[in-house]
Amino acid sequence: MLFPFSYLIFFFFLIMGIMISISSPSWFGIWIGLELNLMSFIPLISLKMNSYFSEAALKYFLIQAMGSALLISSSFLFISLTFISLFLILFSLLLKMGSAPFHFWFPQVMEGILWPQVFLLSTIQKLAPLTLISYLMVSETLSKLVTFTAVSSAIIGALGGLNLTLLRKIIAFSSINHLSWMLIAISMSDTFWLFYFSIYSFILLSITSMFFKLQTYSLSSLIKLDQNSSMFPLLISFNFLSLSGLPPFTGFIPKWMLIQIMMNQNLFFPIFFLLLSALTTLYFYLRIIIPFILILNPSMSFSKKFKSFTFSSPSIIMKTSFNFLGLLLPVYSLLL
DSSP 1: -
Question: Quick one: pLDDT at residue 53?
Answer: 85
Using the predicted structure, report yes or no on whether residue 5 has a pLDDT greater than 80.
Answer: no
Contact 219, 175 (CB under 8 A): no
Least confident of 104-118, 171-185, 242-256, 298-312: 298-312
Find all residues with CB under 8 Å of 284, minimum gap 6, and list them: 161, 162, 163, 164, 170
Domain boundaries, the chain: 10-335
Alpha helices by DSSP H, 46-139 = 51-75, 82-97, 106-111, 115-119, 125-135
Question: Is the model more confident about 222 or about 279?
Answer: 279
**Residue 308, helix vs strand vs coil:** strand
Which of these, 99, 211, 195, lies nearest to 154 by C-alpha position? 99
Using the predicted structure, report yes or no on whether residue 336 has a pLDDT greater than 70.
Answer: no
The sign one gets for the Cα dihedral 223, 227, 232, 233 is positive
- pLDDT tens-digit series, residues 205-242: 989 988 888 888 888 887 776 555 566 777 788 888 88
Rounded Cα distance, 40 and 239, in Å: 30
Give Rg (Cα) of the chain: 20
Please state the rounded mean pLDDT for residues 81-98: 92
Rounded Cα distance, 130 and 183, in Å: 8
- pLDDT tens-digit series, residues 168-205: 999 999 999 999 999 999 988 878 899 999 999 999 99
CA–chain centroid gap for 47, Å, is 21
Query: Average per-residue pLDDT in the chain?
Result: 85
Q: Long-range contacts for 272-276 (Cβ within 8 Å, ≥24 apart)?
A: 273/151, 273/154, 273/155, 274/150, 274/151, 274/154, 274/180, 274/181, 274/184, 276/154, 276/158
Backbone angles phi, psi at 226, to 5 degrees: -75, 100
Percent of the chain with pLDDT over 70: 85
| Amino acid present at 15 | I
Rounded Cα distance, 309 and 311, in Å: 7
Half-sphere exposure of 315 (CA within 13 A, CB side): 8
Find all residues with CB under 8 Å of 182, minimum gap 6, and list them: 130, 193, 196, 197, 200
CB burial of residue 97 (10 Å; 0-12, 13-18, 19+):
buried
The sign one gets for the Cα dihedral 195, 196, 198, 199 is positive
